Structure formats: structure tokens, C-alpha cells
Structure 1
Amino acid sequence: MTRILFAGGRVFDGTGSDPFDADVVVEDGRIAAIGTGLDADEVVDCAGTTLLPGLFDCHVHVTVSDISLIKLFQKPFSYQFYEAARNLRSTLELGITTVRDAGGADLGIKKAQADGLISGPRLEISIGIISQTGGHGDDWMPSGHCVPLTLPHPGRPSTVVDGPDEMRKAARELLRAGADVLKVCTTGGVLSPGDDPRHTQFTPAELDVLVAEAAMQGKAVMAHAQGTEGIKNAVRAGIRSIEHGIYLDDEAIELMLAHGTWLVPTLIAPIAVIRAARAGAALTDEMIRKAEDVAEVHASSIRRAVEAGVKIAMGTDSGVGPHGTNLEELPLMQAAGMSPGEVLAASTSSAAELLGFGESLGRLEPGFRADLVVVSGDAYDLAALPGRIREVWQDGVRVVAPGSQK
């Protein structure tokens, strides 16, 4: 296979160390060498650019494109799958070559990307969001109607459950359907009609069953967890990552440090809800109020977690906000106290470790899969990064070329 030399640029290797001058050689879809005086069959001129590992987004919803309640009623069922293809492409054009879908994408979407039918980041999928009756994933409205962001279908089982036995069955059905990770709501949330982000959902006994079922199949659990006690319940149960983490206190942070629990902040999510409401999205007054209430405390909690040394991985909740704007999360992470190098590491090597790709993706290192992003200028200028993505390579194949971004 052709040896490709990325020549004349700087390299951010994913570890958090500052970029350095070096060339990179790719062969057979892997990084073959990093250094100087290297040779190859084909040369990519990288003068004036920085090479990054392919980026990760650890919390997306690729089948969700609009949170307006009225629009949810108006789309034919299958429309979501065509939107997913578009959303994945928009995400790839940002240099994000791997995502974890936090509810919505089924095995068909994952396989379509893996088989090359659609262009986008590779996927880890959770398929459905496990919720108790009246919980964050229960889309029952006061009218008696349900307005779900994602409808159940044969590849996406229903996931509203109560009690350990129903929890066990839901876990097994999701794993049978191809879930790479199981997602559970241990607290209320912003976009659910009748609960409070601070309130706890599911008992420790129910969570213990879920974690045990996942572990027996070599899988992890991620938790939508915004309220303090629900975060603590998730950590004590052995859940691998806390998604959002809005109301962290000192004990929650100490528990996360003791258990090695990851935090995926999604700082952009409540901001996206507020923006959508201001743009005219049909949301309830309660949803808008909750988004406004949590935005400031969210940023404060993440800042304290960063200061304490909690492990952070990048995630956006895209779908709540527009796909293709994922990199807006990065300056918010920097504002929460992370250095630009730490933000990029959280978006590459740390995210890869969380998702189980730590030995093959997330770093520019010989033997690793050749996911590379060519960025014009200074990659540490995080606010300007979306407009500086020049090329994207996935497993040694150029999937986004100069000028091809929309």
C-alpha cells in the first residue's frame, strides 16, 4: 500500500504535550513513523499546519436533529436515518472521527458507517436511554401523549423500566440489539417534561443490576447524571462515566476520583437549549426555565472537577444543539480551567481511553490507526478551530479534502 508522508507541519500527539516539529508517515492505515528525514510514495504538504489525532465526541445523538416538539410530530419515522447520515458527515468535517451515540443510533446506522455506505465518524452505540417511569427518558406529556425524541422499533427496544427485573431485561435486550455501552438516567433532566435535574432516579439496587449485566458482557455503563445524589449513586454502582455532572459537590468529586470515574461535561448542551428557544423552537416553559437555571451552576461544577483532577472526556450532546457545531464545546472546557493542550487531550487520547480505544486511537504514535486532522495555523486557538480544519483522514484514507466542507 502507498506510504503517505505528512511533511513540514507540527504534531500534537494527543498526550497533552505541546506541538512539536515533525513529519508523519502513514502506511496500511496505520501510523508507521514520526520524525525527520522520512520517505514515502506520496507527500501531503503540511507547512503552516498542525497535525492532530482524529477527535472524539463522547456524547452525541445522531438521529436527533431538532428538539422542537411540534417538528417531532411532523417527520416520517424513517426520516431520522437520512438525517443521521447528514449529521454524521457534518461531524466528520470537524475532524471528529469517532463518536459515542448516547441514545438513538441503532446497529444499522453503526454498520452502514463501518461498511462505507455512509460517511462519518465510527460509532459506539447505546441504542436506547434506560429510564424509570416518569424519568428523564419517559416522554409522557400531561396531555397523556408521548413525544419521544426516538421511537422504539425492532432495533431499538423500549427502555422505560421499573425494578431490578425490568432493568435486567432491558439491559439484555439492548445488548442483544448491539449496544456497545448501556446508558441510564440516574437523575432528571432539562428536556424531559415532568422531572427536575436535581432529583434522583433509580435505586442503587436497580443500578447494581444494570452494571452487573453490562459487566458480564464486557460492557460499561454511562449515566445521564445531573443531580448530586444521582451522580453519587452512579459512581458507587461502578458506572464508568458521568454525563453532564451539573450539580457536583465535594463528596461527588471525591467519589469520582476514588473510583476513577470519567466526566463528560457537555457544557454546550444547556446553552443550545436556550439558543433553540430564542430561535423559536417549540419547547415548554418548564424546559426553558430548567436550561436557564442549570447553565451557570454547570460551568461552576465542571471548573471544580477540573481543579480536583477528575478525568475529563469531550462530549457535546449534539442533537440537542446542531450537529456540525460540536467544537463549540472546546472553548467552554478551556473557560472551565483546562489548558488548550488538556482540552485537546480530552478530545483525543482521554476520550479514546474512555471508549476503550486507548491502544489504537487518540494519539499520533507508530502502530496506531491513522486518524489525522490537518489544522491550518495554531491548533491551540480553540475558538477558531472549526474554521481551520483543512483535511481529515480516517484509517489512512482522506475523507475530508481541502474545500470539501460545507
Structure 2
Amino acid sequence: MTRTLFTGGRVVDGTGAPAAAADVVIEDGRVVEVGPGLDGDVEVDCAGATVLPGFVDCHVHVMVTSVDSLRMAYTPFGYSFYEAAQNLRATIGAGITTVRDAGGADLGVKKAVDDGLVAGPRMQISVAPLSITGGHGDDWLPSGTHLEFFVPHPGRPSGLCDGPDEVRRTVRQMLRAGADVIKVHTTGGVLSPTDDPRHAHFSPAELDVMVAEAAAQGASVMAHAQGAPGIKNAVRAGIRSIEHGIYLDDEAIELMLEHGTWLVPTLSAPLAVIRAADAGASIPPSSVAKARGVVQTHRESFARAVEAGVKVAMGTDAAVSPHGTNLEELPLMAAGGMTPDQVLAATTSSAAALLGMQDEIGRLAPGMRADVVVVEGDARELEGLRERVREVWKDGVRVVG
């Protein structure tokens, strides 16, 4: 087998340790050595660059390309699968070699990437989010029509459910459809026009059934949770990660620490809604107003969670923000109190741990998958990081550069 040597650069191994001068050797899709003075059959010159593990984004929607409601209404159903291929290419082009899709991608999309039909990051999928009637995932509009982000089809069941029995059946349907993780909306949201992100959705009894059914088949649950009551319900039920966490209060933070719950902040999402609206996208005025109203609260909640020591993994809600701009999340995390080294760990080893893949990805260490990103200059300079991505390798194969 060919030994590929990344040499002449500084290595960020993904653990949170500072960058250090070292070489990395990969062979047969795995990292085999990390250290000084190594040799290989083929050299990759990394002079003036930082070598890192492949980045991980724990919250994307690869089947969605725009939050413009009129564009969505006039886009043919099948077109979104072709757009997904483009979105996946843009994502891996940013150095994101693994993603967790938080709704939309079905098993066919995941398999197309696994089989090499489409270039993109490896995927964990949730298929479709669970929502109550009238909740964040119920796409009913005041006109009486529907404008659905995730139109049900044979590979993507509807996530709408009410009561423990319907919840149990819907979780089983998602798992049957190939879900690696169950996604639930435990609060309202910003982009949905008829609910409030501060209100709790699903009862504790419904959430208990959800978590138990997922666990019975080895899966965890991730929760779109913005308001404090819905966040606390999710944490108490044993849900693994809180997505967004806009209105965290002290009790919610303490509960997250007690239960070891992860926070995936998606700080860039409300900013992206505002930018899209300012650029002329057709977004309900109520949604734009909600986005403008949560930005500062979101930042403050995140900063308090970081200060308290809540576990953080990077996620962007890409689709709300353009695919391929994922790394714009990193400076926002640093502005919330994380050091650059902590941010890079949240984007590599910590994100891998949230996904249960800590023995496969997220670190440059012998035995790990050979996901490697080469970035011009010091990767701890987080601003403009995407523009400095020089090469991307996934499972030992160069996919960018």
C-alpha cells in the first residue's frame, strides 16, 4: 500500500492541544503515524499550512438549498435531489468530511455518497423531524395550504405525530427508513410562521416514549429546542443534544451539565435568515422579525453555556445558511468565549464524540480514518478559514486540491 506523507506543516490533532510541527502518514484509508521526521512513498507539501482532521458539522439539511418560500413552492419535487448533490460537493469543499443531516436526506442520499455516486461527506441521517400538529415541522399556512420543507415520500415518512402511540409509531417508521438518529422539535422555531420558539412542544410522556424507542434500536435523539421549557423537557427525557438553544436559562444549563447533554448552537442560522431577507428572499415577515429578535439572546445564552462548561459541538443549520459556508460558524463560537483551540476541537473530536464516532473520526491519531484537511496559514485564525482550505482528503482519497 502507498504511504502518503503530509510534511512540513503544523498539526492540529483535534484534541484541543496547540498546533505543533509534525508529519502525518496515511495508508489504506487510515492514519498510521503522527510525529516528526516520518517518511512516505508520496509527499504532500504542507509548508506554511496547518494539517487538521476532517471537520464535522452536526446540523445540516443537504436537501434544502434556500429558505425562500416562493422558490420552494415553484421548485419541482425531484429537483431537490440534484441540488443535494451540489450541496454535498460544496460541503466537502469546505473541509467538512462528516455531517449529521437534521432532516430531509433519506437513505438513498446517504447510500449515493457511501457508494461514490455523489461526492460529499459521510452522513448520519434523521430522515424527517418529528413535530406536533401546529409545531415547527407542521407546514400548514394561514391560507389553509401547505409549503413543506420535507414532502413525504416512500423513503421519507411524515414526522407529524401527536400522543405517545403516534410518537412510538413515527419513531419506528424513521428507524425503518434508515434513520441513524431521531430528530424532534421540542419547541417552536424561527422560520415557521405560526408558532413561537419560546413555547414547548411534545409532552414529557411523549418525549420519554421517543427516547425509549430510539434507544431500543441503538439510536439517540437530537432536539430542535429554542425556548427554555422545551429545552428542559428534552434534557430531562435524556435527549442527547440540544440544537440552537436560543433561550437557555440557568436551570437549563445546570440540567445540561447534570445530564451531560450536548449543545449544537448554530449561531450563524438567524444571521443567515436576516441576510437572505435583506437580499430579497421571500420569507414571512413574522419569521424575519423572530430572527432579528433572537440574535443577541442567542449569543448571550451560548456564552453562558460555554462559561458554565456545557459540552459544545459545531453545527450550522446549513440550508438556512448557504452550503459550503459552514466554517463561518467558527468565529461566532470564538466570540462566545471559546478559544480557537476549543473551537477547532468542537469542530473535530467533540463533534465526533456527539455522533458516537470518536473512535473513527475527529482526531489525527494512528488507526483513525484518514480524513485530512490542509489549511493555508494558522488554522486558529478562524476568520476566512474556508478561503484558505487547500486540500481535503476523505478516507485517504484526495477529494479537493
TM-score bracket, normalised by the shorter chain, equals over 0.9
Alignment-derived partner of residue 185 in structure 1: 185
Alignment-derived partner of residue 158 in structure 1: 158
In 2, the alpha carbon distance for the partners of 1:85 and 1:123 equals 13
TM-score, normalised on structure 2? 0.99
Deviations 1:176-219 (A, max 9, x none): 00000000000000011200000010000000000000000000
TM-score, normalised on structure 1? 0.98
User: Cα offset for 1:241?
Assistant: 0.1
2:94 maps to amino acid: L
- Whether contact under 8 Å (1:23, 1:38) holds in the other structure is yes
Aligned counterparts, 1:210-359, within 5 A: 210-359=210-359
In 2, the alpha carbon distance for the partners of 1:46 and 1:285 equals 48
Alignment-derived partner of residue 379 in structure 1: 379
Mean alpha-carbon deviation: is it higher for 66-75 or for 133-142? Answer: 66-75
Structure 2 unaligned spans of 5+: none
Aligned counterparts, 1:193-204, within 5 A: 193-204=193-204
In 2, the alpha carbon distance for the partners of 1:44 and 1:291 equals 44
- Whether contact under 8 Å (1:130, 1:161) holds in the other structure is yes
1:16 maps to amino acid: G
In 2, the alpha carbon distance for the partners of 1:274 and 1:128 equals 25
In 1, the alpha carbon distance for the partners of 2:385 and 2:45 equals 19
In 2, the alpha carbon distance for the partners of 1:249 and 1:37 equals 50
User: Cα offset for 1:395?
Assistant: 0.6
In 1, the alpha carbon distance for the partners of 2:364 and 2:397 equals 15
- Whether contact under 8 Å (2:22, 2:37) holds in the other structure is no
- Whether contact under 8 Å (1:14, 1:349) holds in the other structure is yes
Alignment-derived partner of residue 12 in structure 1: 12
Alignment-derived partner of residue 29 in structure 2: 29
Q: How many corresponding residue pairs?
A: 401
- Whether contact under 8 Å (1:140, 1:193) holds in the other structure is no
Alignment-derived partner of residue 404 in structure 1: none
Q: Secondary structure at the match of 2:384?
A: helix
1:132 maps to amino acid: I
User: Cα offset for 1:384?
Assistant: 2.1
1:376 maps to amino acid: E
User: Cα offset for 1:325?
Assistant: 0.8
1:189 maps to amino acid: G
In 2, the alpha carbon distance for the partners of 1:277 and 1:106 equals 29
User: Cα offset for 1:149?
Assistant: 1.1
2:141 maps to amino acid: M
Deviations 1:58-87 (A, max 9, x none): 000000001111111111111000000000
Alignment-derived partner of residue 367 in structure 2: 367
In 2, the alpha carbon distance for the partners of 1:393 and 1:101 equals 21
Structure 1 unaligned spans of 5+: 402-406
Alignment-derived partner of residue 206 in structure 2: 206
- Whether contact under 8 Å (1:59, 1:101) holds in the other structure is yes
Q: Secondary structure at the match of 1:384?
A: coil
State the superposition RMSD in angstroms: 0.5
Deviations 1:97-130 (A, max 9, x none): 0000000000000000000000010000001010
Deviations 1:344-367 (A, max 9, x none): 000000000000110110000011
Alignment-derived partner of residue 48 in structure 1: 48
Confirm whether residue 71 of structure 1 aligns to residue 91 of structure 2: no
Q: Secondary structure at the match of 2:222?
A: strand
